[in-house]
Amino acid sequence: MRIDVVTIFPEFFDVLDISLLGRARQTGLLDVTAHNLREFTHDRHRTVDDTPYGGGAGMVMKPEPWGEALDSILPTETEAPGGDAPVVIFPSPAGTVFTQKMARELAQREHLVFGCGRYEGIDQRVFDHAATRAEVRLVSIGDYVLNGGEVAVMAMIEAIGRLIPGVVGNPESLVEESHEDGLLEYPSYTKPAAWRGLEVPPILLSGNHRAIDDWRRAQQIERTRTVRPDLLPPDLLPNE
Ligand SMILES: N#Cc1c(-c2ccc3cc[nH]c3c2)n[nH]c1N
């Protein structure tokens, strides 16, 4: 998978050179490039923002640098993409909420482009023009406000990148996770069997794998019912 990120803080993504995603980059499973939006300005101060039309506090990111940055990444009309067309994702508090389902869907795509806004956001025409030549999505990572898109893009790259075959050593570990099957994950334990007066649930030491599986499922349901009842599938909702 090819990932391009447009940002005024390209160094923010240096951290992707470590851990699982770092190895995925070295092995060619993941090709991540951070582009500095200021490289697409032409004034002495490398200006990327200006005051908002209609007034209001703060500054808005100018369309021209974004247009040139996306020109340098997206295929032109004549260059039909070799594989599937890129998806351009702009993190935004006004976006569709990012979910594991969306991560799984985006992990199937060959080319993702992320545009990191700052200030009060990006001129709307950037989204409108990009939509004439690619699939564009505004995506939010949750109902709270950040100062810019970089943290959100980092989270999405990790959530998507780890689903690419070969990135995570043991694909089995991707299966029993929170949100993967719609329920929150069960509690985990490891040695020692007793720690500060706290014992590992005896069922987990029984060797009875059917009973362990049943216990774990029950824990998932109980946790989900308590913490995230909104995730419970209809057949597990408590009877009214
Ligand atoms: N995704 C997401 C976001 C943001 C966000 C994204 C982009 C910009 C650009 C300026 N401020 C931003 C906030 N806040 N909260 C979220 N869940």
52-81 residue pLDDT tens:
999 999 999 999 999 999 999 998 866 665
Report d(CA 148, CA 93) in Å as an integer: 10
The response to whether 186 counts as a known ligand-binding position is no
Res. 8 pLDDT band, cuts 50 70 90: very high
Is 119 marked as a binding-site residue?
no
CA distances from 154 to 14, 146, 196, 231 (A): 11, 13, 37, 25
The question of ipTM being above 0.85 is answered as yes
For ligand 1, whether the C-beta of 121 sits within 6 Å is yes
pLDDT of 179: 73
Predicted pLDDT of residue 200: 98
Give the type of residue at 232.
L
**Would you say residue 23 has pLDDT above 70?**
yes
Residue 182 assigned to a binding site: no
Whole-number mean pLDDT of the chain? 93
Rounded to the nearest 10°, the torsion over CA 215, 219, 222, 227 is: 180
Residue 140: both structure tokens together: 């939010």
Of 77 and 185, the structure prediction assigns the larger pLDDT to 185
CB of 140 shorter than 6 A to ligand 1: yes
Distances (CA, A) of 87 to 4, 18, 36, 65: 10, 25, 19, 19
| Integer Cα distance of 163 and 168 in angstroms | 7
Confidence of residue 109 (pLDDT cuts 50, 70, 90): very high
Q: How far is the CA of 164 from the centre of ligand 1 (A)?
A: 25
Interval 93-117 mean pLDDT: 97
**pLDDT category of residue 25 using cuts at 50, 70 and 90:** confident
Contacts of 92 (CB under 8 A, 6+ apart): 117, 121, 138, 139, 140, 149
User: For residue 136, what is the DSSP state?
Assistant: E
Q: How far is the CA of 146 from the centre of ligand 1 (A)?
A: 5
Q: Is 92 a pocket residue for ligand 1 (Cβ < 6 Å)?
A: yes
Question: Which atom of ligand 1 is nearest to 140's Cα?
Answer: 1
The answer to whether 118 and 97 are in contact (CB under 8 A) is: no
Q: Looking at residue 172, what DSSP letter applies?
A: G
Mean pLDDT over 204-230 rounds to: 97
**3-class SS of residue 48:** coil
When pLDDT is cut at 50, 70 and 90, the band that residue 182 belongs to is confident
99: pLDDT strictly greater than 90: yes
